[in-house]
């Protein structure tokens, strides 16, 4: 999967720049449609400098906006297809559980959306929640929504599986191949990916935290900001009672806690997770803004945890998780690429129809990757996408007031 096996000059129908989960899913969709595809990345799949590394991600239907809810529904089906084709397990059902103060607006909107879309769910007061989910100490005046189909997604396995499927499908996979600039002509796009000259009819940019730098010279300045987000892993405490000890997938749901303006979230442990043991806990959008380097390199990105955020996670565990140890096993980081409204950027470049953009996933994109891949593949092949992309238009930031910023 590197440039060695590929000639120094290749011509394809579509080139995808950025081989994280979104680029890999897009390239996979394109190969399924018979397109000749190149997928280029400055690094290698599984690297921890961007946004797609780590064992797990929350996959849930619990969105208050209909479009995300419908995209999530479709994504679950599409993930199952990837599972079958690659012969791997990616989605592990564990239920999703979200809590907040009794009169939380976020919970009210969520419940309304679940009802509107007839998604089965249960609403629990604190007594019921603490009985059903004793892992978490829900305050007396709070409530929770449980949705039984929520899952944990095997993130890094999904990413590597897609690269493997692409290799089998004969896509040109260019790893360790940074793209410095795009040369856009009337009949196509050309660029160097490492040592290889790539010529393509259309380019799809899925460059995560580096998208702004790559797209800016083409006449579109996306107002993306990049934050380094810290997560920490906590082991079950030895004093855990029999009913509450099981923090593994299947026994503990995923959690989003709306008690603070920036929600905390948690993922149960994988049965076999040796490289990332423990319950993963994070604080959504609490990270510091950073300046991305011009192109990805192995000295920038994930890795360094913010000690102050780790401290806050420890105190959160102390307040809310009676059966977890307060000393984290491990803390690390990962990048969010944020739009001002936290909605994605999915669309054609307004001034360059041969450039398609998929970025700005604002910390909640992973679960949607197969559907994002379908949408970007549609745009790259002049097919009408099956979702209305109005909310995601790349040019929306220059056109007036943004929609309300979403929360989680
Ligand atoms: C801590 C954390 C927790 C999260 N939790 C969840 C969750 O529970 N559920 C959920 O749905 N989502 C979650 N997300 C969000 C999700 O992980 C991201 O939305 C998703 O991984 C974004 O993928 P991407 O492909 O856009 O970016 P990336 O994975 O960063 O991929 C971009 C790729 O482009 C390459 N690249 C960039 N520039 C160039 C260039 N010039 N030339 C060549 N290659 C280039 C990079 O090397 C990189 O591999 C979380 C994210 C983080 C950080």
Residue 272 confidence class, pLDDT cut points 50, 70, 90: confident
- Any atom of ligand 1 within 6 Å of the Cβ of 194: no
pLDDT tens per residue, range 293-307:
777 776 665 568 999
Mean pLDDT of 113-129: 97
Does a structural domain hold residue 305? no
Mean pLDDT of 109-126: 97
351: containing domain: 3-52+156-223+341-398
| Closest C-alpha to ligand 1, atom 51 | 363
CB atoms within 10 A of CB 399: 8
Does a structural domain hold residue 10? yes
Q: How far is the CA of 103 from the centre of ligand 1 (A)?
A: 34
Say yes or no to pLDDT of 341 above 60.
yes
Tokens of 290: 């950073």
Tokens of 269: 């442990």
H/E element, 239: none
Question: Considering the entire predicted model, what is its pTM?
Answer: 0.96
pLDDT tens per residue, range 365-389:
999 999 999 999 999 999 999 999 9
Does a structural domain hold residue 321? no
Q: What percent of the chain has pLDDT over 70?
A: 95
Does a structural domain hold residue 324? no
Contact by Cβ (8 Å): 72, 63: yes
Does a structural domain hold residue 259? no
Mutation pick for ligand 1 pocket among 24, 45, 50, 233 (CB with most ligand atoms within 8 Å): 50
Q: What percent of the chain has pLDDT over 90?
A: 88
For residue 209, the SS3 value is helix
| Packing angle, helices 66-86 and 369-380, rounded to 10 | 90
Q: How far is the CA of 21 from the centre of ligand 1 (A)?
A: 7
H/E element, 245: none
At residue 155's C-alpha, the angle toward residues 318 and 386, to 5°, is 120
What is the reported pLDDT for 292?
A: 83
Mutation pick for ligand 1 pocket among 2, 16, 19, 20 (CB with most ligand atoms within 8 Å): 20
pLDDT tens per residue, range 40-62:
999 999 999 999 999 999 999 99
Say yes or no to pLDDT of 4 above 80.
no
| Packing angle, helices 21-32 and 155-169, rounded to 10 | 40
Does a structural domain hold residue 185? yes
pLDDT tens per residue, range 6-25:
459 999 999 999 999 999 99
Separation between Cα atoms, residue 59 and residue 57, nearest integer Å: 6
| Closest C-alpha to ligand 1, atom 5 | 57
Q: How far is the CA of 212 from the centre of ligand 1 (A)?
A: 14
Residue 132 confidence class, pLDDT cut points 50, 70, 90: very high
Q: How far is the CA of 156 from the centre of ligand 1 (A)?
A: 11
Mean pLDDT taken over the chain? 94
Does a structural domain hold residue 218? yes
What is the reported pLDDT for 148?
A: 98
Q: Which is nearest to 68 in space by CA: 300, 364, 329, 286?
A: 364
Q: How far is the CA of 120 from the centre of ligand 1 (A)?
A: 30
Q: How far is the CA of 20 from the centre of ligand 1 (A)?
A: 6
| Closest C-alpha to ligand 1, atom 13 | 364
Does a structural domain hold residue 304? no
Separation between Cα atoms, residue 405 and residue 20, nearest integer Å: 25
What is the reported pLDDT for 3?
A: 43
Where is pLDDT greater, at 237 or 354?
A: 354
Structural domains of the chain, count: 1
- Any atom of ligand 1 within 6 Å of the Cβ of 360: no
End-to-end Cα, the chain, rounded Å: 35
Closest ligand 1 atom to Cα of 41: 44
Q: What is the CATH number of the domain that holds 374?
A: 3.50.50.60
CB atoms within 10 A of CB 20: 26
What is the reported pLDDT for 298?
A: 64
């Amino acid at each position: 999967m590197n440039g060695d096996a590929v000639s120094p000059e290749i011509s394809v129908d579509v080139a995808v720049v950025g081989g994280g989960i979104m680029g890999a899913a897009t390239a996979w969709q394109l190969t399924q449609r018979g397109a000749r595809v190149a997928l280029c990345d400055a690094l290698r799949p599984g690297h921890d400098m961007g946004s797609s590394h780590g064992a797990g991600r929350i996959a849930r239907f619990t969105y208050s906006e209909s479009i995300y809810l419908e995209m999530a529904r479709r994504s679950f089906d599409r993930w199952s297809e990837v599972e079958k084709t690659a012969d791997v397990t990616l989605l592990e059902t564990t239920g999703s559980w979200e809590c907040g103060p009794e009169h939380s607006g976020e919970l009210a909107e969520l419940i309304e959306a679940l009802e509107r879309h007839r998604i089965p769910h249960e609403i629990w007061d604190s007594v019921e929640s603490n009985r059903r989910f004793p892992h978490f100490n829900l305050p007396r005046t709070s409530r929770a929504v449980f949705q039984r189909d929520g899952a944990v997604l095997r993130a890094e396995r999904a990413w590597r599986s897609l690269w493997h499927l692409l290799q089998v499908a004969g896509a040109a996979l260019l790893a360790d191949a940074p793209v410095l600039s795009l040369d856009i002509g009337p009949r196509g796009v050309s660029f160097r990916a490492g040592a290889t000259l790539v010529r393509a009819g259309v380019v799809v940019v899925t460059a995560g935290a580096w998208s702004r730098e790559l797209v800016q010279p083409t006449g579109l300045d996306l107002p993306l900001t990049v934050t380094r987000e810290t997560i920490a892993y906590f082991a079950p405490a030895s004093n855990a009672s029999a009913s509450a000890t099981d923090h593994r997938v299947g026994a503990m749901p995923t959690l989003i806690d709306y008690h603070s303006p920036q929600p905390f979230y948690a993922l149960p442990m994988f049965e076999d997770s040796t490289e990332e043991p423990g319950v993963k806990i994070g604080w959504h959008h609490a990270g510091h803004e950073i300046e991305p380097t011009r192109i990805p390199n192995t000295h920038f990105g994930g890795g360094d945890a913010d000690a102050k955020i780790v401290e806050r996670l420890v105190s959160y565990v102390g307040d809310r998780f009676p059966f977890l140890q307060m000393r984290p096993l491990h803390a690390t980081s990962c990048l969010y690429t944020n739009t001002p409204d936290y909605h994605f950027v999915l669309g054609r470049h307004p001034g360059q129809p041969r450039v398609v953009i998929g970025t700005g996933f604002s910390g909640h994109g992973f679960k949607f990757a197969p559907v994002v891949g379908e949408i970007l593949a549609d745009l790259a092949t002049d097919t009408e996408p099956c979702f209305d992309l109005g909310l995601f238009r790349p040019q929306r930031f220059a056109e007036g007031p943004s929609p309300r910023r979403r929360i989680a």
